[in-house]
Structure 1
């Protein structure tokens, strides 16, 4: 399979039409789109560590959820983190492909998988079509529901805002940044809204909403995307070598605690 064909395969599973207008994903860096795929490394982010791992494992494609090229870059020099990674990818002959918000919105994508992790049923899209809402097998006390969320996602901690209900039965989920779906989640009848992160001002606004908002970290809410992508490729292209680069919540931070 050629790199170009792999990108087309991903486009078929996660249609670009589902992407948000502001997004930038797809085949972003490729020294030769017609090269044969030697292996695909699937990761959450196009980090230096992921590039190292792709080189180590002999994978000439790095498939990620978050795009390497997002904000405008005015120059490509080793001093800039993003451009340094682009230059390194090109020198190593590694292409990078990203499926971002279209993978969030797609059926069986990031948010459906997050809902499945929590054991939700009767899951449907709401709002702009990206987040999902469903129900637990039975109503749970808030503490028990939150403990289940932390256990299912591997998140180490959570931030809470809004109003805690008497029990949690209907749960809305939006991996990553979910501040734009707060009101829609409340209007859809969620007792609890799980997302990666919102913002300070969104937390203030959440105080007026009749639901509990639970932020577990952008990374923790999307680490399972590695399984979403790798499982798809395993079924759609059985002969393709697919490797995974697991991400554990907190890996992106070198100093979680500072003793002063």
Structure 2
């Protein structure tokens, strides 16, 4: 039996909740974490129609990119579409889980999906975030160093880009005197002791602080483990907003716009005047991405693919970059395929379905 909490654990391994923006409301919105999962419906939005679809298809979990509840609900009377959706989900025991800006901010999330649909290579985060990394420093007897390092590495520390088991160590002398209530591994109560120890430093993402410290304490031979941990100002190159990469070969601006329209299945592209005859480096951001225009320019992008640009914001291209607004829904609708593919590799004992409901509130008259 797979419980909803098991399912959530895998989703949060893909996109840890700590990476969501402070205005967001990702996570379990409706439902009991202990409920048995019978089927999962993936959607961009968790609207009433999507909950109806889940019921009809025998799914008791909806995983949506956009949270149906952004702000606190003061009443549930069915007055708004939000209230009606929540009421219907509760009535029919359908759980709703949102995985929003935390999925935006991780590699292999929303922006990687767009980049891959466009065939971009050499992908990297467009605007890496600071204060998402920590440094753990601990002291351990020389002979126990490898055993303790194995434990903290297994908990997720020591990963820097494509390099694993990264650490720094320096050998010195540790000095201490066990008190009368101590139970020392080395030394005697009331006696000064000196031990050859390694000072070890490893980096870890902030969301792994608790399991890494637990692993350190469990593997360390000492009764009292000496360590300290600091938040780093370094940019985490794997966490942040947007993505940027290169087309395999330069193509004309006209060819790029045709390809973009086709690959993202958008009926219309709002764009600025072409700047260059050809484009190759492309920046992308699912959803509203105008705040990343300076980053796209700094990255040397020829074009910036995103959504929700306002009229006056198009002027900010300043004849330096091609801005392509493909629509909010169009830029993120394939997120449900990313999630379904990821979870299908983890679970095979219940149905995983892609929503067929078009939740786009925008219509185009052509």
Is 1:252 the counterpart of 2:360 in the alignment?
Answer: yes
CA RMSD, 1 decimal: 1.7
SS at match of 2:124: strand
Q: 1:63-78, aligned counterparts within 5 Å?
A: 63-78=63-78
What is the CA distance between 1:204 and its match in structure 2?
A: 2.8
SS at match of 2:34: coil
Q: Is the 8 A contact 2:48 2:81 kept in 1?
A: no
Query: Where does residue 210 of structure 1 map in the other structure?
Result: 320
Query: Where does residue 339 of structure 2 map in the other structure?
Result: 229
Query: Where does residue 277 of structure 2 map in the other structure?
Result: 166
Q: TM-score, normalised by structure 1?
A: 0.92
Q: 1:1-260, aligned counterparts within 5 Å?
A: 1-30=2-31, 32-128=32-128, 129-161=240-272, 164-206=275-317, 208=318, 210-246=320-356, 252-253=360-361, 256-257=364-365
Please give the alpha-carbon distance, in whole angstroms, between the structure 1 residues aligned to 2:295 and 2:108: 21
What is the CA distance between 1:5 and its match in structure 2?
A: 1.9
Please give the alpha-carbon distance, in whole angstroms, between the structure 2 residues aligned to 1:72 and 1:16: 18
What is the CA distance between 1:108 and its match in structure 2?
A: 1.1
Please give the alpha-carbon distance, in whole angstroms, between the structure 1 residues aligned to 2:51 and 2:362: 18
The structure with the greater share of residues assigned to strand is 2
What is the CA distance between 1:113 and its match in structure 2?
A: 1.3
Larger radius of gyration: 2
* Change in CA separation of 1:109 and 1:255 when aligned onto 2, cut-off 3 Å: closer
Gaps of 5+ in 2: 129-239
Please give the alpha-carbon distance, in whole angstroms, between the structure 1 residues aligned to 2:30 and 2:74: 16
Please give the alpha-carbon distance, in whole angstroms, between the structure 2 residues aligned to 1:199 and 1:236: 40
Please give the alpha-carbon distance, in whole angstroms, between the structure 1 residues aligned to 2:365 and 2:354: 28
Please give the alpha-carbon distance, in whole angstroms, between the structure 1 residues aligned to 2:93 and 2:262: 39
Q: Is the 8 A contact 2:250 2:280 kept in 1?
A: yes
SS at match of 1:135: strand
Q: Is the 8 A contact 1:233 1:240 kept in 2?
A: no
Please give the alpha-carbon distance, in whole angstroms, between the structure 1 residues aligned to 2:336 and 2:357: 8
Q: TM-score, normalised by structure 2?
A: 0.66
Gaps of 5+ in 1: none
* Change in CA separation of 1:257 and 1:152 when aligned onto 2, cut-off 3 Å: closer
Please give the alpha-carbon distance, in whole angstroms, between the structure 1 residues aligned to 2:321 and 2:113: 22
Q: Is the 8 A contact 1:226 1:246 kept in 2?
A: no
* Change in CA separation of 1:112 and 1:254 when aligned onto 2, cut-off 3 Å: closer
Number of aligned residue pairs: 254
What is the CA distance between 1:163 and its match in structure 2?
A: 5.2
